[in-house]
Structure 1
Amino acid sequence: MNIRSLTRGDGAVIGAAVLLFIASFLEYFSADCGDSSYCDKIDLPNAWEAEKLPLVLATIFLPGILGAALVAAGRFLPEGRKFGAVSLPQAGATLIVISLWSAVWSMLSAPDEASMGPGAIIGLIAALIGAAAAMVTPAVPALAAPLVPAGGAGPGAAPYGQQYPQQGGGYGYPGGPQGGQPGPYGAQPQGGQQPYGQQPGQPQAGQPGQPGPGQPAGGAQGAAGGAPDPNFQPFWFAVPMARPLFPEDGSPQPIAELAPGTWYLAVEQRGQTLIAQTQDGRRGVLQDTSNIQRG
């Protein structure tokens, strides 16, 4: 589970769920008794007092909280994974909209002798924020951006898409072996130097699946993406969430899954897709290149 899989819109949905949870403990109704002491004798219920408010918890607060949990959980699954006909974020967004509609209907059908309390008002606002964020996030680039941007995880954090240095290094890990000895394919040395003296964003030629001197990037044309770009320069990149890598022959079954927190190598561009290479040397088509982080 990687928090970098979450978007800003997901953060708004989660914040709304927290606000909804707090509101469930506040008084759902309020009474205006003026100067009378009668109000002191009234026990105003919250959403958890089911004997007095049998439907409020089940139709407003629990659907909104559960919907936010499904939206967040869906970001940690491979993109395109569905349960039945819908994905988890779609199911979560539906529950949050149900929560909003129930909150509005509850206010419209409130008894004449009672007014809405802080629990009802704050619950309505939280459901409105959660529903709006869940519905518009895919269409608004500002909300679809990663919740934790590059270098935004706090002091000393590694750049987006990188792991902290680990002993021995390895594919996707900055901090490979020192003393001038090259590490495994994809490893990067410590000290801020680029791998093997290359410029930023340009991997060393001669590695498996990479172009050598005088050779064009990539190999034979596949079924996806069209003709290769002759001006393309290989570069390192990281994905904001788990994304499938499809075969170059156009088969629909993924051959690998790119995970957040690791650098991958883009060796060729075909239209709007990239030909990427995994740590074990497999090449495939990355169809969704939105919001990738270049190295």
Structure 2
Amino acid sequence: MNLRALTRGDAAVAGAAVLLFIASFLPYLSWNCSGAYCGNIDTSQNAWSTALFPVLPSIYLLGIAAAALILVQRFQGPAAANRQVLGLRLDQWGIAFAVAALWTSVWALGGAGTGPSVSHGFGAWLGLISLIVLAGAAAAAPLVPALKAPLVTDRPAVPYQGGYPMPGQPGQPQPGQYGYPVQGQDPNQAPAYGAQPGGYGYPAPGAPGQAGQPGPQDITPAPVAAQPAPAPQPAPAADFAPFWFAVPAPRALAPKDNPVGAPIGELVPGTWYLAVEQRGTALVAQLQDGTQGVLADTSGIQRG
């Protein structure tokens, strides 16, 4: 299941289905009873009562089934975009079921079985409200931008802004320097200042002048193989400003210095990425871990 494919409209559909399920257990009809035999008669019934059939399957269960079809279509992601059942996609069947359940609920509120002493309970009205939200969110989700927004988004990567150098940066102690323990050394062993290999003028293992190692006069420069010149890259746009964007379908990210090389990552829908540079029609995008690469296919992207 692809949770990143869910939108805010899908969340509204799921919430309405939960309310509809709760409403089915609340009183649907209630009436006033006066007389000697009223003590043995229930004064309210919910949708699960057989006396109210077919209220349960035609209103409540039909609405819940509509929400299930819509969410199943979203969970399947772009792979099910063209998958149809009897000429319609699952979400289209869900919208039709939601509208049918809403239509039935409206007519049931004024249908037979009502009278001066009979009234619809809270379950009937909550079910109607839930179906209005369900049908409205299902039909408007593909059209309203606020409902099409992703429900789950990754937090954009924030560059390191601390005041102290990170491990590996200049100014940070390295293993084997200034008494910092060498990898594999006992941390309880006192460091030998001035006697560490490569520290304070002490020759490191394998350095020229060390016993068994050639001196500077014995070293013969090795020929350096000519490296192929890198392919020319398009010049960055002069008036480019970084912006956030999302892709409509998974797309590969090529290396920044070699756009024709093997992909180094993948951009997926439902996640915002930062465009840091433009090269012709391509963009240099930054992943959440700070990796940057070239996105060659920029068709259909959504700017933030």
> The TM-score by the shorter chain falls in which range?
0.5 to 0.7
> Structure 1, unaligned stretches of length 5 or more?
151-157, 163-176, 181-209, 218-228, 247-255
Which residue is equivalent to 2:301? 289
Counterpart pick for 2:102 among 93, 100, 103: 100
- Counting only pairs closer than 5 Å after superposition, residues 147-158 of structure 1 correspond to structure 2 as 147-148=151-152
Which residue is equivalent to 1:60? 59
Which residue is equivalent to 2:168? 179
AA aligned to 2:95 is: A
Contact 1:276 / 1:284 at 8 angstroms: preserved in 2?
Answer: no
Quickly say closer, same or farther: Cα 1:58–1:277, change in 2 above 3 A: same
Which residue is equivalent to 2:23? 23
Quickly say closer, same or farther: Cα 1:260–1:137, change in 2 above 3 A: closer
Quickly say closer, same or farther: Cα 1:284–1:61, change in 2 above 3 A: farther
Which residue is equivalent to 1:81? 81
Contact 1:232 / 1:269 at 8 angstroms: preserved in 2?
Answer: no
Quickly say closer, same or farther: Cα 1:126–1:269, change in 2 above 3 A: farther
Quickly say closer, same or farther: Cα 1:112–1:260, change in 2 above 3 A: closer
Which residue is equivalent to 1:126? 130
Quickly say closer, same or farther: Cα 1:260–1:111, change in 2 above 3 A: same
Contact 2:274 / 2:285 at 8 angstroms: preserved in 1?
Answer: yes
How many Å separate the matches in 2 of 1:48 and 1:268?
63
Counterpart pick for 2:249 among 243, 248, 252: 243
Pairwise CA RMSD of aligned residues? 4.1
AA aligned to 1:243 is: A
Which residue is equivalent to 1:187? none
- Secondary structure of the residue that 1:139 maps to in structure 2? coil
Which residue is equivalent to 2:111? 109
Contact 2:142 / 2:148 at 8 angstroms: preserved in 1?
Answer: yes
Which residue is equivalent to 1:258? 268
Contact 1:267 / 1:277 at 8 angstroms: preserved in 2?
Answer: no
Query: TM-score scaled to structure 2, two decimals?
Result: 0.55
| Deviations 1:53-96, CA, capped at 9 Å, x for gaps | 33112111112112112222322333361332333322222211
Query: TM-score scaled to structure 1, two decimals?
Result: 0.56
Which residue is equivalent to 2:8? 8
AA aligned to 2:148 is: A
Contact 1:27 / 1:119 at 8 angstroms: preserved in 2?
Answer: yes
Quickly say closer, same or farther: Cα 1:124–1:268, change in 2 above 3 A: farther
- Secondary structure of the residue that 2:297 maps to in structure 1? strand
> Structure 2, unaligned stretches of length 5 or more?
158-165, 170-230, 253-265
Contact 1:237 / 1:263 at 8 angstroms: preserved in 2?
Answer: yes
Quickly say closer, same or farther: Cα 1:232–1:211, change in 2 above 3 A: farther
- Counting only pairs closer than 5 Å after superposition, residues 185-264 of structure 1 correspond to structure 2 as 212=233, 215-216=234-235, 237-239=245-247, 243=249, 258-261=268-271
Contact 2:9 / 2:141 at 8 angstroms: preserved in 1?
Answer: yes
Quickly say closer, same or farther: Cα 1:289–1:36, change in 2 above 3 A: farther
Quickly say closer, same or farther: Cα 1:116–1:245, change in 2 above 3 A: same
Which residue is equivalent to 2:160? none
AA aligned to 2:61 is: L
